[in-house]
Chains A and B, each alone.
Chain A
Amino acid sequence: MTNETTQAPDAGDAEPPVLEVRGLSKRFGSVLALDDVNVSLRAGEVSCVVGDNGAGKSVFIKMLCGLISPSTGQILLDGKETEFSSPRQARSQGIVAVYQDLALAPLMSLWRNFFMGAEPVKGWGIFQRFDVAYAKQAMQTELEKLGVDLGDPDRAAHTLSGGERQGLAIARALYYGARVLILDEPTSALGVRQSGAVLRLIRRAAQRGTAVVLVTPKPQHAFWVGDRFLVFQRGRLVEDRRSETLTLESLAYLMAGGAEVEELETAIATA
Chain B
Amino acid sequence: MSLLQLPAYGNARPWVRTAVLRPELGSLVAAALLFIFFSIASSGAMLEVPTIARVLDTAWPYGIIAVAVGLLMISGEFDLSAGVMVGTAGALLGVMATEWGMNLWAAVFLSLLACLALGLWNGVLVVWTGLPSFVITLGTFFGLRGANVALSKYFTGDALIENIDDAGGYDSLHTIVATVFGTAPSDFRVSLIWWAAFILIATWILWRTKIGNWIFASGGDRDAARAVGVPVNGTKIGLFMLTAGAAWFVGVSSAIRYTSVQAGQGVGQEFFYIIAAVVGGCRMAGGYGSAVGPAIGALIWGIAFVGIPHAGWNSDWRWAFLGVLLLVATLINHIVGERVRTARSG
Contacts and interface: CB of A to CB of B under 8 A. Distances in A.
Interface of A: 87-88, 103-109, 112, 115-119, 121, 128-130, 132, 146-152, 154-156, 158-161, 163-164, 167, 194, 197-198, 200-201, 204
Interface stretch (B41-49, B139-147, B307-315, B337-345): B337-345
A107 B208 contact: no
Given A117-B230, A130-B209, A161 B217 contact: no
B340 A159 contact: yes
Smallest CB-CB A-B distances: 3 pairs: A105-B220, A103-B224, A119-B210
Interface in B1-24: 1-6, 8-10, 12, 16-17, 20-21
A163 B228 CA distance: 21
A116 B10 CA distance: 25
Given A104-B221, A146-B3, 13 more contacts: A105-B220, A108-B213, A116-B225, A116-B230, A117-B214, A117-B217, A119-B213, A130-B213, A148-B4, A156-B341, A158-B342, A158-B344, A161-B8
A170 to B, nearest CB: 10
17 contacts: A103-B224, A104-B224, A105-B216, A105-B224, A106-B220, A112-B217, A116-B225, A117-B214, A118-B229, A121-B209, A149-B2, A149-B4, A154-B17, A158-B340, A159-B8, A159-B12, A163-B4
A161 B225 CA distance: 21
A107 B220 contact: yes
B195 interface: no
Nearest to A88: B229
Contacts of B17: 152, 154-155
Contacts of A200: 3
Contacts, number: 134
Nearest to B232: A117
Contacts of B287: 105-108
A118 B209 contact: no
Nearest to A149: B2
Interface string B175-209: 00000000000000000000000000000100111
B341 A108 contact: no
B213 A201 contact: no
Contacts of A149: 2, 4-5
